[in-house]
Amino acid sequence: MFDAFVTGLFLVFEWPAIGFLMLGVFIGMWLGAVPGLGGIIGLVLLLPFTYGMDPVPAFALLLGMFAVTTTSDTIASVLLGVPGTAASQATILDGFPLAQQGKAARAFGAAFTVSAFGGVFGALILAVSLPLVLPIILSFNSPELFMLGVLGLAMVGSLSGGSILKGLAVACLGILMSTVGYAETIAIPRFYFGTDYLIDKLPLIPVVLGLFAIPEVMELAIRNTSISRIPQDQTDDGGMLEGIKDAFRHWWLATRCAAIGTYVGMLPGLGAAIVDWIAYGHAVQSAKDKSKFGQGDIRGVIAPEAANNATKGGSLVPTVAFGIPGSLGTAILLGALLIQGLKPGPDMLTTELHITFSMVWAIVVANVAVAILLMFWSKQVAKVAFVPGHLLVPGVILFVFMGAWLGGASLGDWISCITMGILGFIMKRGGWPRPPLILALILGSIMENAFQISMGAHDGAHWLYNRPIVLIIFALIIITIFLAAKGITKNKKVAHKEGEATVLGEGSERNPMISFPFSILLFVVFISAIFESQGWPSSVKEFPVTAAIPGACLVFIAMFKDGQGYLATLKEHGSLLVAWTHTAEKVLLKRASAFFAYLVGMLLVMLVVGQKVALPLFIALYLIRWGNYNWRAAAGYAVGGYVILVGFYDQIMHLFWHPAWIQSWLPDLLPTWLPPWLLF
């Protein structure tokens, strides 16, 4: 085994493997940093280039790219409050507040340090424990995977914001949204409202970008501020070196979370989706002082970033050992294995063990390389936090909407993105946490599949009480909720004594005039879903009802507290009109409505002239009308956006574009020397 371990290391550093590895690292840095792209798209783009390559260089290219996206995705999570990839969802809870405090460089220093450590630690621990973990993986069947998903939802629901009821209710909403489209067992569509777009599930990328990106970008536009609320010359204790020191101060937390990432990442289907939340939950529950989490606690960056990088090594185990991909990314890597003529199974742990270890070493080298590169560049990247907001908004909107378009190249993707942007604004202003919804949407179909298999294989719900691992996970769920409730109660008491706001961070705002009507709407949604599902077969309705009933109960309880706040607000202001006017001014509803009108207008213009014209036009109009920039600056920015659309998305990615109205007649009027792809 040791010989194979050393041979794998030398294979990675041989030419051309090391060259392809570094090429993959550079590509992965870009794909991870741009919201909506990520490692999956990178694997799809690079996979065709591996045909005819030797196995080691091929996997050096693929893993070099794939491994580093969970490092560079920190850039969007910290600077924009937008998950660069699904693996960086938990990072935004404390990373974005740090950027708002002018400490983005500190967050980057800590994140990149523990990312490199997590990637190396995970890969090496994986190499050492490879023979030992196989029985553990085999013991996780459908019941255990379902309960692990519930544990992940319990963690994120109870740790987001100041209300466990709202967090868990939003998780139930996400589960319900994941059931849109065809059922897992029978080809019967659910909750699709007669539209073909929704019949094949609600796409994840437009939902994530709309829910997180648009509200944060809109905040920059409305308030005309930079990401940092503090001028650059007034920041203190926020440099890159301080972040590196933070990583070493909390080395034991980073080590524990890297171990969590390695072993949870081995679980097929669930590991990569929940590991950052499990690590974040562990950081909160193991901390003596929990009061700063969600407000810019550096430990809230260290924990998920150490874990999500360690996951990449762990997820290779079920892929190479059993041919069971742990995620969509490893499913593509499984295809690459087959292309190279390698058969997943015992051979990869015996005769081909040196190839397996070369993959492990590729992850190690890639993580170290990207951490060093980003350390050099992140000081400049962190300056983005101090750039005027009006200069950031148009560029971010371009990448957000093109990221949404990558999901399915459908008009519905843009409509979903805008709709989820409105929902995200309401949830943010109403104090309803958004992370539980996204995690539930990711896990929903996986959990339903595990749930149905468990119900069928064990003749009902007997597996809930006769499987030891299920009972252990159930106990962890109860402990998680109990400790979270205890921590929230303690923080509220401390804040009340000190005369401060009760809770800060995601789901912290208190606007009963928004929250109470939204809770009523959610209650109606859950009840309607229960009635709608009654005509379906048992296997089709079981899972939606399993989510809708507890969701309705949780929302019903939350309604009472929101109702009290609603009545108190009415009493304070004397009338509904005055109270609503005050709330609208507080949340800047008028300007927010104008911003959404711009986005809807861009969508309508796109139908007429196409995306390659509509997006640059939005950039120019925004800078002139909202930013008060002159036409030269606006035109230059718009031209830059056009070059990205045509050069990258069209000529490199070869995207399908929505057919515009003018496309039906304008090409006949254009000169023959002008390529149509410049406009359509």
Name the least confident of 34-48, 394-408, 446-460, 585-599. 34-48
Q: Which of 49-58, 134-143, 470-479 has the highest mean predicted lDDT (pLDDT)?
A: 470-479
| Residue at 257: amino acid letter | C
CB 573 within 8 A of CB 584: no
User: 8-12, 48-52, 323-327, 511-515 — which one is most confidently predicted on average?
Assistant: 511-515
What is the pTM assigned to this prediction?
0.77
3-state secondary structure of 181: strand
Q: Which residue has the higher pLDDT, 650 or 291?
A: 650
311, 367 contact by CB (below 8 A): no
- Whether residue 68 is predicted with pLDDT greater than 90 in this model: the reply is no
Q: Which residues, at least 6 apart from 680, have a Cβ–Cβ distance to it below 8 Å?
A: 610, 612, 657, 659, 660, 663, 667
The percentage of residues in the chain with a pLDDT greater than 90, rounded to a whole number, is 14
Res. 424: pLDDT tops 80:
yes
Q: What gap in Å lies between CA 609 and CA 157, rounded to an integer?
A: 43
Rounded to an integer, the average pLDDT of 242-252 is: 86
Mean pLDDT, residues 523-533 taken together = 93
User: Is residue 465 scored above 80 in pLDDT?
Assistant: no
First to last CA, the chain: 56
- Span 577-624, pLDDT tens digits: 888 888 888 888 888 999 999 999 999 999 999 999 999 999 999 999
Cis peptide, bond prior to residue 268, ω within 30 of zero: no
**Rounded Cα distance, 349 and 326, in Å:** 18
Tens of pLDDT, residue by residue over 483-505, are 777 666 665 555 445 444 444 55
Lowest mean pLDDT across 191-195, 236-240, 277-281: 236-240
| pLDDT at residue number 347 | 67
How many whole angstroms separate alpha carbon 453 and alpha carbon 448?
8
- Residue-level pLDDT at 237: 52
